[in-house]
Amino acid sequence: MDLPVLFNDPPASPSGGCAANSCGSSDDQLGHLPEAIRDKVFNHPCYSEDAHHYFARMHVAVAPACNIQCHYCNRKYDCANESRPGVVSEVLSPEQAVKKVKAVAAAIPQMSVLGIAGPGDPLANPQRTFDTFRMLSEQTPDIKLCVSTNGLSLPESVEELSKHNIDHVTITINCVDPEVGAKIYPWIFWQNRRIRGIEAARILIEQQQRGLEMLVERGILVKVNSVLIPGVNDEHLKEVSRIVKEKGAFLHNVMPLIAEAEHGTFYGLTGQREPSHAELQALQDACAGDMNMMRHCRQCRADAVGLLGEDRGAEFTLDKIDAMEIDYAAAMETRARVHADIAEELAQRRQHGPAPVPILQASGPTALMAVATKGGGLVNEHFGHAREFLIYEASPAGVRFIGHRRVETPYCEGDSSCGEGESALAKIIDALEGCRAVLCAKVGYEPWSALENAGIQPNGEHALEPIEEAVLALYQELLEAGKLTDDVAQQRQSA
């Protein structure tokens, strides 16, 4: 029997429409989409799970002002060390932003997308946002433009957005019920007044839904972001997913709440808990029946630069850019070449799909596997260098991408001479909770035994192989070796 590689839909989901592998496509969650939409997003790292291994993106922080307050946001956003939405190091003028985009696109030819995502709300800074888009449309016509908004000012901005040929918009929609909204948004600034409570949430929801409808009417692709807040909107997000899909959003991205007390947000300070990995996955699976779900979001900063999961922003501060000598015309040619090569590789992958893997046993448990990767769709990162792990679910029905888990300090960056290496390792093992194995390019002796003791099988034998094939192969190896039974994991954990 051949194992298919599944993406997005849970193997047993009866309501998931056609499974990706039976639709003539086995590339990623976009397999559900009409050809025209796939053509638009194939090189957008935030929309295509496939593209995010190859194409890079950047955000420019030209939009500081915001017109609403969310309980998960602290508006004191200036921070160099945190990686989460709403945080930046420096606010740029539109002119500075254009200069930065051109410098980054010259240095990183994989760059395909420029987004404006804050740190406030781009549409609450219409002058700065649209000045930036106008200049970029002229000066870097090969870079796709996109924008992310809370939706409050969206209806009045749709006309201007469509002028700039922006074919992607992300709206953050956390609720469709004002009573739920009142627990997430304490106030909005609307028609020259501060409005609070349920009335504020009602207006915001109305504007978001109207904006969504208007964008869809104009053929602009809409992705919906939702923040999963346990006890506040967790069950409700299933309805959100259903409604936004009905209205024509093409992708739904459910992200976990980030709420640490030290971030100074309302939720952080009042002890609102974050969802567990399992809760996030369960909700994404529940929504997947109705919607193309997105699972590779990295919740990046409003000034992030590079491949998803990496941030090279520090290489492109304003003073460093001033010192660079750049041949913009040559850079655009290089970009065209690099993009064409990647497009070809992706097309080939789509056509051929991953190599079929024979399997001996037709039944077996579902197992989560972690993968250390630097990009390119390969198992190619050392365990000790990984800043995040991609999580795949393997079963006899195939393999599907589930999400990613970030680690605070890579194992090799912890200082083992003062015990930090050990605590870094303990935190990584915590982050890999629920995983049966971790695939990487290499694993050192010490983390190897600690991982084994925690019931997580380390594996370096599939180094440099394509991720899905490697996960499938390891799944079968573990299955055949009898290492995937619950007893084995429990014995190890109690050992």
Partner 1 sequence: MALEIIDSCVNCWACVPVCPNDAIYQAQPHFLIDADKCTECVGDHDEAQCASICPIEGAILDELGDALNPPGSLTGILLSAGELPSSIPQDIR
| Site membership for partner 1, residue 122 (CB under 8 A) | no
Q: Applying CB under 8 A, does 66 fall inside the site for partner 1?
A: yes
Stretch that binds partner 1, among 192-200, 215-223, 346-354, 373-381 (CB under 8 A): 192-200
Nearer to partner 1, 14 or 271 (CB): 271
Among residues 12, 76, 159, 481, the one that binds partner 1 under rule CB under 8 A:
76
Alpha carbon dihedral 139, 143, 145, 148, in 10-degree steps, equals -120
Tokens of residue 364, six digits: 């077996």
**437 within 8 A of 458, measured Cβ to Cβ:** yes
If you count DSSP H runs as helices and E runs as strands, how many of each does the chain have, helices first?
15, 16
What stretches of 316-466 show up as alpha helix (H) in DSSP? 318-322, 328-352, 420-431, 445-453
Nearer to partner 1, 160 or 279 (CB): 160
Q: Which is nearer to partner 1, 124 or 440 (CB)?
A: 124
Sign of CA dihedral 5, 11, 17, 18: positive
Q: CB pairs under 8 A, 24+ apart, for 374-377?
A: 375/53, 375/54, 375/307, 375/309, 375/310, 376/53, 376/54, 377/50, 377/53, 377/54, 377/349, 377/466, 377/467
Q: Taking a C-beta distance cutoff of 8 angstroms, is the pair 184, 236 a contact? A: no
CA distance 251 to 44: 13
Give the range of 131-139, 190-198, 222-230, 307-315 binding partner 1 by CB under 8 A.
Answer: 190-198
- In the chain, what's the furthest Cα-to-Cα distance? 68
Applying CB under 8 A, the span of 117-125, 226-234, 430-438, 456-464 interacting with partner 1 comes to 117-125
Comparing C-alpha atoms, which of 146, 124, 113, 133 is closest to residue 75? Answer: 124
From the list 17, 186, 460, 466, which residue makes contact with partner 1 (rule: CB under 8 A)? Answer: 186
Among 65, 216, 243, 450, binds partner 1 (CB under 8 A): 65
- Distance CA(114)–CA(58), nearest Å, equals 5
User: What minimum distance in Å lies between the beta carbon of 162 and partner 1?
Assistant: 22
Q: Which residues touch 319 (CB under 8 Å, ≥6 apart)? A: none
- Name the one range near partner 1 by CB under 8 A: 155-163, 186-194, 333-341, 346-354: 186-194
CB of 64 to partner 1, least distance (A): 4
How many CB atoms lie under 10 A from the CB of residue 373? 22
Give 256's DSSP letter.
Answer: E
| CB 24 within 8 Å of CB 16 | no
Does 308 bind partner 1 (CB under 8 A)? Our answer is: no
CA dihedral 428, 430, 433, 436 (to 10 degrees): 50
In 3D space, the residue among 332, 305, 319, 349 whose CA is nearest the CA of residue 138 turns out to be 332
Binding segment for partner 1 (CB under 8 A), chosen from 105-113, 119-127, 379-387, 439-447, is 119-127
Residue number with CB closer to partner 1 (126 or 434): 126
What are the helix (H) ranges across 353-381? none
Residue 75 interacts with partner 1 (CB under 8 A): yes or no: yes
Size of the site for partner 1 (CB under 8 A): 23
Least CB distance to partner 1 at residue 70 (A): 10
Asked if 78 is part of the footprint of partner 1 (rule: CB under 8 A), the reply reads yes
Shortest CB 91 distance to partner 1, Å = 7
Taking residues 88 to 107 in sequence order and writing x for each that binds partner 1 by CB under 8 A, - otherwise, the string is ---x----------------
User: Which stretch in 66-74, 157-165, 293-301, 463-471 sits in contact with partner 1 by CB under 8 A?
Assistant: 66-74
User: Least distance from C-beta 69 to partner 1, angstroms?
Assistant: 5
Considering only 22, 39, 80, 127, the residue that binds partner 1 (CB under 8 A) is 127
Q: Does 150 bind partner 1 (CB under 8 A)?
A: no
Verify binding: residue 118, partner 1, rule CB under 8 A: no
Least CB distance from residue 136 to partner 1, whole Å? Answer: 21
- Which residues between 231 and 270 bind partner 1 (CB under 8 A)? 266, 269-270
Q: Minimum distance between the CB of residue 194 and partner 1, rounded to whole angstroms?
A: 4
Is 34 or 264 the residue whose CB approaches partner 1 more closely?
A: 264
Cα separation, 402 vs 279, in Å, equals: 12
Tokens 């409570």 -> residue? 197
Among 15, 81, 192, 363, binds partner 1 (CB under 8 A): 192
Length of the chain: 495
Binding residues vs partner 1 (CB under 8 A): 64-67, 69, 75-78, 91, 120, 124-125, 127, 186-187, 189, 192-194, 266, 269-270
